[in-house]
Structure 1
């Protein structure tokens, strides 16, 4: 791919960095001195950065990575714990920190690639379950260790994980809380591929560059949400009804014309529709609370 040159210094956050180059937004966990321990501040900065990428017309793909030897070792309660008074408890609108990120990832219109190395434990793995791809280094270690700490799975992981690896494997990992390696994660489908540590990020960028150069942004956004939001309905009938509206809109879709022409002319496509501006207005999940 092209040289990855940053367009900003990423200093507008305190616990992550955010940079855009080659139409790829790189979001980096940046607390290496604390092994990227997860905090409320990190959760809110990640949520903001994902929203920023989703609304930036120049961004087509997000790569989520981390500085230091570990991706994220889970919650760092030494940074002050939760953002509510422990004596009175949270109000009804409060959202736990891992779920703030997984909810935003779920609603994203841009594909997200997580590059995982070292420890990805607790919140360090649950925040990535809504990503489209998880790439792992050979040294990666994973663990849904909540029961070994006397707490509970978060980040909506009890919804995401069985859909990725099946209920049996999800029960094993979550009920035992054991830590496991990259090979087991790959065999179960938790990660898509495994790479040597020094090749991990390059592999993520190669995949991101392929998505940028070969796929249509609106088509990707719609397809991603179709898979997430329609897979659990109780019959194919509502899916077919929505498919019919989508396919019925193809004659007036310039990206569909460009996709066919570029194939016939054996050239790279130049898709012009943009996300989120040009999403079909009849999609049932396009709501203000997903922004």
Structure 2
């Protein structure tokens, strides 16, 4: 499948894939066609066997959320805003969360509406110093979607989450970092290289263990301590039979760097 609204780069030497949202004239806002291309690109990423993914945007913005021009605003028509959420945004958020490899968002500019929450759905968020996050939904009479009402209270607490959602105010990258909403802020010129370097480092780590960490951390938000302890036991049992566990222990004993293979 050829892409117009995104770019996909798969580097087999570093085992890193990069997906770039590529509608810079529209601040990389989502259309149905862009969703279809992104879904196919994620298929290709999973099939390729890469061990880390970077998601970023072209131009001066990361993503401005839904392209309203892609919706039907015919006078007198009633728009079903739940349809694009059910068909596209919710599957995307679930998929980013469930991918069995580390996913890094490199937020190069404005991340607004669903675009902000797509970034938060990634495992680690790096942001350019000039970047910002905006829960813009209230400005047009809507509620944060694409996981916004779930991610925000967990990341920044209820008071700050409500403040961001109710006011729709812009949050700077530096404040997002200080609030614990994102992982790291970098100078604009350093963002791309830093994201690539981090992805390459993570691609050399035990990928199955990273996938298990993602699963366990997210499960912990929705279940009791007893169930979480059982999950940790079960995951540890599975990982104990992996190649990378054996390699990690052997490398420790031999006082050398481990050579993980993601299996």
TM-score by length of 1: 0.81
- Distance in 1 (CA, whole Å) between partners of 2:33 and 2:84 is 18
1:178 shift after superposition = 0.8
C-alpha distance in structure 2 between counterparts of 1:81 and 1:28, whole Å: 27
Match of 1:20 in 2: 10
Q: Distance in 2 between matches of 1:265 and 1:133?
A: 32
Instruction: Tell me if structure 2 keeps the 8 A contact 1:121–1:142.
Output: yes
Matched, 1:32 2:24: yes
Is 1:231 equivalent to 2:218 in the alignment? Answer: no
Correspondence 1:152 to 2:143 = yes
Q: CA RMSD in A?
A: 2.3
Distance 1:252 1:141 in 2: 43
Offset at residue 245 of structure 1 (A): 2.8
Matches within 5 A, 1:1-291: 12-21=2-11, 22-57=14-49, 59-81=50-72, 89=80, 95=86, 97-213=88-204, 215-233=205-223, 235-249=224-238, 252-274=241-263
How far apart are residue 211 of structure 1 and its match? Answer: 0.9
Residues 109 and 221, structure 1, Cα contact 8 Å, conserved in 2: yes
Query: Once structures 1 and 2 are overlaid, which stretch shifts more, 154-163 or 94-103?
Result: 94-103
**Deviation at 1:89?**
4.5
2:63 partner SS: coil
Matched residues in 2 for 1:171 and 1:48: separation? 35
Give the conservation status (yes or no) of the 8 Å contact 2:251–2:258: yes
- Structure 2 unaligned regions, length at least 5: none
Distance 1:152 1:94 in 2: 12
Contact in 2 for aligned 1:102/1:130 (Cα 8 Å):
yes
Structure 1 residue 254, shift from structure 2 partner? 2.5
Partner Cα separation in structure 2 for residue 43 and residue 92 of structure 1: 13
CA distance in 2, matches of 1:35, 1:89: 24
1:273 Cα deviation after fit: 4.8
Partner deviation per Cα, 1:236-266 (whole Å, 9 max, x = no partner): 1112222223334455332211011122323
CA distance in 2, matches of 1:89, 1:207: 40
SS in 1 for 2:120: coil
Given that 1:100 and 1:155 are in contact with CA atoms closer than 8 Å, whether structure 2 keeps it comes out as no
Gaps of 5+ in 1: 1-10, 275-291
User: Which has the larger share of helix?
Assistant: 2
2:72–2:79 Cα contact (<8 Å) kept: no
Count of matched residue pairs: 258
Three-state SS of the structure 2 residue aligned to 1:151 is coil
Contact 1:162–1:170 (8 Å) recurs in 2: yes
**For 2:86, what is the secondary structure of its paired residue?**
coil
In 1: Cα distance, 2:166 partner to 2:245 partner: 46
